[in-house]
């Protein structure tokens, strides 16, 4: 071992600059993913989870004071954080699909199930007259779901070969 290898040199500074540049590249690549997760979480909270409303806590009057406004912002923020945590748990728990598996799932499973759902809703709406009969809607929704699930289980093979196919 020579004495030049034991003395800290300019190489360490160069490596730190390269490391900082790589961290910046990683941060720039992760920024749109995190921004999309936050935006979609906020939309999910507004559209499906009641926004800033929390039963018995945030009130339902139009005239609010500062404490109630801050409470609504906190409720909205907590709901967004919970949806983000749900997204993260799902991303950590489920394996990722390859692109060919994802396309197979979309075209062979999801699209036919969506069409079955559309036809079932149209038939139920036509024959049982609108959204006034909520019990019929719930029962028929579950019936369509179970029937489609059963039909998909009958059609799909029990074991599938997960290896990519070599096109010749």
Statement to judge: residues 87 and 145 lie in one domain:
no
- Do 57 and 37 reside in the same domain of the chain? yes
Residues 152 and 72 occupy one common structural domain: no
Question: Which residue has 């409720």 as its token pair?
Answer: 75
**pTM (predicted TM-score):** 0.54
pLDDT for the residue numbered 129: 66
In this predicted structure, the answer to whether residue 85 has a pLDDT above a threshold of 90 is yes
Kindly indicate the confidence band of residue 14, based on its pLDDT and cuts at 50, 70 and 90.
Answer: low
Q: Which domain holds residue 131?
A: 97-168
**Same domain assignment for residues 89 and 17:** yes
Say how far apart CA 154 and CA 152 lie, in whole Å.
5
Domain boundary among 67, 94, 121: 94
Does the pLDDT value for residue 83 go beyond 80? yes
Let me know if 24 is exposed, middle or buried by CB neighbors in 10 A (0-12, 13-18, 19+): exposed
Radius of gyration of the chain (CA): 27
pLDDT tens per residue, range 25-70 = 787 888 888 899 999 999 999 998 888 888 777 666 777 788 888 8
Residue-wise over 109-141: b if at least 16 C-beta within 10 A, else e? eeeebeebeeebeeebeeeeeeeeeeeebeebe
Structure tokens at 151: 């039909």
Domain end position, chosen among 35, 59, 94: 94
Contact 153, 113 (CB under 8 A): no
The last residue of one of the domains, among 94, 109, 127, is 94
Give the number of domains in the chain.
2
């Amino acid at each position: 071992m020579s004495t030049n290898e034991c003395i800290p040199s300019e190489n360490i500074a160069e490596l730190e600059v390269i490391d900082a540049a790589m961290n910046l590249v990683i941060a720039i690549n992760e920024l749109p993913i995190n921004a999309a997760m936050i935006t979609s979480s906020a939309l999910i909270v507004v559209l499906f989870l009641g926004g800033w409303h929390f039963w018995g806590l945030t009130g339902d009057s139009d005239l609010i004071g500062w404490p109630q406004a801050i409470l609504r912002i906190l409720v909205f923020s907590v709901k967004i954080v919970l949806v983000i945590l749900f997204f993260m748990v799902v991303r950590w728990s489920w394996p990722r699909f390859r692109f060919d598996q994802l396309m197979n799932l979309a075209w062979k499973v999801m699209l036919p199930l969506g069409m079955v759902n559309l036809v079932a809703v149209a038939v139920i709406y036509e024959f049982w007259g609108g959204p006034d009969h909520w019990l019929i809607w719930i029962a028929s929704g579950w019936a369509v779901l179970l029937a489609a699930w059963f039909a998909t289980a009958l059609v799909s093979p029990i074991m599938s070969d997960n290896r990519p196919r070599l096109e010749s």
